[in-house]
Amino acid sequence: CGGGDGGSEGGGDDGSLVIGFAQVGAESAWRTANSTSIQEAAKAAGHDLKFVDGQQDQEKQIAAVRDFINQQVDVIVLAPVVETGWTDVLQEAEDAGIPVVLADRGVEAADEALYVTRLGSDFAEEGRKAGTWAAETFAADADGTRILELQGTTGSAPANDRKAGFFEVLDAEGLNYEIVDSQSGNFTAEEGKAVMETFITTHGLDGIDLLYAHNDEMGLGAIQAIEEAGKVPGTDIQIIIVDGSTAGFQAGVDGKLNYIVECNPAFGPQLMDVLESVVAGDEVEKFTPVEEGVFDATQFEAELPNRQF
Ligand code: GYE
């Protein structure tokens, strides 16, 4: 039920909503936990959630949004795989009178008028947190800190912003550093490992101080590549990851990485509140950040049992 006779306000007589959700994919533990959180929260709230896994493919996500428009859902939730290329389909949703809420990732500023609100992380802040730790940890590194970076999906908001926030702080703190290499590992363990293998072949690992991986999976893949090259991750090369899954924390407890910037995927209940407000026509903030922390080696063991994904 829902959507049928709801009129301009949308929603069924009982307040239930038909929600179309175009998810990024299933590339990481973070993503799977995020999908589960949203599916469970929709169910608990009595809403009908139409879930499409975009398999990290923008064309599939655009097709899903068009399909939701044809079905005249009450509200569309989009987790855009990349920031650009959404103007046309967002305009189509607006023309059809269907509000769009962004979950997790954002779109380019030029499209700001075409969605109601974004609920998700402040990725630039996550990058700054990673940068703050790196700047402190390597402050006394007189001959310069040599850095490898494994970026997330090219053109995605978290890859763009985690990179920008990180180097913003290194520059502001005046750290003497060099980016030895920086490539995308597409947020997956497989590609993260493959790119790290290429880094090792090209540059070796001697004299590399730090690996900054934009998510757990790429960091964990890189750890395998480092071990296979006969080096000790976390010791021979320091490693920062972003997300903080159980597997990520376990690697931290095992001494294989050095810093975890948390990214929280469990915003399903908060998202349902936002969607209900949007369909009811209430004023909502343009951006609602989710709360997140940071963890160093002294905290990994105590925090591990608290991890939910
Ligand atoms: O960090 C990564 C996932 O968009 C915040 O996407 C999300 C990121 C998350 O693939 O693991």
Q: Is the pLDDT of residue 11 over 80?
A: no
Q: What is the pTM of this model?
A: 0.95
CA dihedral 79, 85, 88, 94 (to 10 degrees): 30
Extract the tokens encoding 10. Answer: 């949308």
Atom of ligand 1 nearest to the CA of 243: 1
Query: Ligand 1 site: residues with CB under 6 angstroms?
Result: 27-28, 30-31, 104-105, 121, 158, 187, 215, 242-243, 263
Whole-number Å distance, alpha carbon 7 to ligand 1 midpoint, is: 36
Atom of ligand 1 nearest to the CA of 214: 1
Instruction: Tell me the average pLDDT across 52-64.
Output: 98
For residue 123, the tally of other CB atoms under 10 A from its CB is 25
Kindly indicate whether the ipTM for this predicted assembly is greater than 0.90, answering yes or no: yes
* Residue bearing the CA closest to ligand 1, atom 6: 31
Could you tell me what percentage of the chain is helix, strand and coil, using 3-state DSSP and rounding each to the nearest 5? 45, 20, 35
Whole-number Å distance, alpha carbon 154 to ligand 1 midpoint, is: 12
| Per-residue confidence band for 15, with pLDDT thresholds at 50, 70 and 90 | confident
Atom of ligand 1 nearest to the CA of 123: 5
Average pLDDT, the chain: 95
**Nearest by Cα to 275 from 123, 63, 103, 113:** 103
Instruction: Tell me the average pLDDT across 107-128.
Output: 98
Contact in structure between 264 and 290 (CB atoms under 8 Å): yes
Give pLDDT, residue 9. 53
Q: Is the pLDDT of residue 2 over 70?
A: no
Q: Which helix (H) or strand (E) holds 139?
A: none
Ligand 1 pocket test: which of 23, 28, 154 has the largest number of ligand atoms within 8 Å of its C-beta? 28
